[in-house]
Structure 1
Amino acid sequence: MKTAHFILIFCLLALASPFAYASDPSPLQDFCVAINDPKDAVFVNGKFCKDPKLARAQDFYYSGLNIPRNTSNPVGSTVTPVNVAQIPGLNTLGISLVRIDYAPNGGLNPLILTLVPPKS
């Protein structure tokens, strides 16, 4: 019986310990604005990074998600992707999104395929 009490008290203390922490690992840098020119750039996450001192607000902005797209196609929907190709500041942040416009009379959910080129 004493063993059961000991195990119970030990478990309660372990759960209430102020030394238990959990967090995501910190990224290597706050942001890495992607550029296509490798001159004087650092290669991170499949893209070259611009010098952080040269980052501008436009590197983190995309206009166009508020514009409805044409849905007069066989599936009745259109996908507008937003990823590092549209917003270079999203590089290394793990963020991407899409806007899907559906035709008002029964548009279908489109199949979205991402084609990854083979590594050489």
Structure 2
Amino acid sequence: MKVMYLAIAVLALASSLASAYDPSPLQDFCVAVNGTKDGVFVNGKFCKDPKLVKAEDFFRHVEAGNTSNPLGAQVTPVFVDQLAGLNTLGISLARIDFAAKGLNPPHTHPRGTEILFVVEGSLYVGFVSSNQDGNRLFTKVLNKGDVFVFPIGLIHFQLNVGYGNAVAIAGLSSQNAGTITIADALFDANPPISSQLLSKAFQVDKKVIDYLQKQSWYGNN
């Protein structure tokens, strides 16, 4: 009997963990709207009245990103905030444009796994496993037509190692996977994280942290 109760408890836990991410929709669509009148609140958004939904709610044209910035790369997201028809569907994507030597710096997506497809150019990509797995670094040089996966929540990056521009498309397993750029989060937090704390965490002189916190951190997401 105890074994049966334990099994039921494990299944219940698994079920609750599964629903911690974007839920499986129980309707054809739930186009997001900002208004609350006659709306139903689902996963952070209100649903538009289905009778008012149109094809444009599921359409968006994505232009090339402007790579004239300190990182030489630009991420153009197509999340639920940019494409309302994605609401409750559990997917999204982003276009990433790279100038020569452009970098999409180390970052994480706390709510989604990413799969990257290289449209043009050559990219050096990688991710770092968690402390539990020894912080192992997995890297690969990708060329046109190659695909690479970055598991949910792990720090990852992409660097253009070709001689020309590069373009990639990232698919994500969430309508809003979120992005945390590591350097921005640590050195450009608002209000600032204690420089004494960061100095001890990184085991460097406090002057190094003070210098980093004074820099203008560019977020390309």
Deviation at 1:26? 6.1
State the alpha-carbon separation in 2 of the partners of residues 46 and 26 from structure 1.
Answer: 14
| Match in the other structure for 1:94 | 90
Per-residue CA deviation, residues 53-79 of structure 1 (Å, 9 max, x unaligned), is 11011100011x2x2222121111001
Given residue 81 of structure 2, which amino acid in structure 1 is its aligned partner? Answer: A
1:20 corresponds in structure 2 to none
Cα distance change of structure 1 residues 112 and 54 upon mapping to structure 2, 3 Å threshold:
farther
In 1, Cα distance between the equivalents of 2:83 and 2:32? 9
Of 76, 79, 99, 1:80 maps to 76
| Residue 78 of structure 2 corresponds to residue 42 of structure 1 | no
**What fraction of aligned residue pairs are identical, expressed as a percent?**
65
In structure 1, distance between residues paired with 2:31 and 2:37: 14
| RMSD of equivalent CA atoms | 2.1
Deviation at 1:99, TM superposition (A): 0.5
Aligned to 2:184: none
Larger Rg: 1
Cα offset, 1:49, TM superposition: 0.4
Contact 1:77/1:110, CA 8 A, preserved across alignment: no
The number of residue pairs the alignment matches comes to 89
Q: Does the Cα contact within 8 Å between 2:24 and 2:89 map onto a contact in 1?
A: no
SS in 1 for 2:104: coil
For residues 41-80 of structure 1, what are the structure 2 equivalents within 5 Å? 41-63=39-61, 65=62, 67-80=63-76
Contact map agreement 1:59 1:87 (CA 8 A) in 2: yes
Distance 1:79 1:111, change over 3 A: farther
Deviation, structure 1 residue 47: 0.6
- Write the distance in 2 (CA, Å) between the matches of 1:98 and 1:41: 28
Question: Structure 2: any 5+ residue segments left out of the alignment?
Answer: 1-22, 109-177, 181-221
TM-score, normalisation: structure 1: 0.66
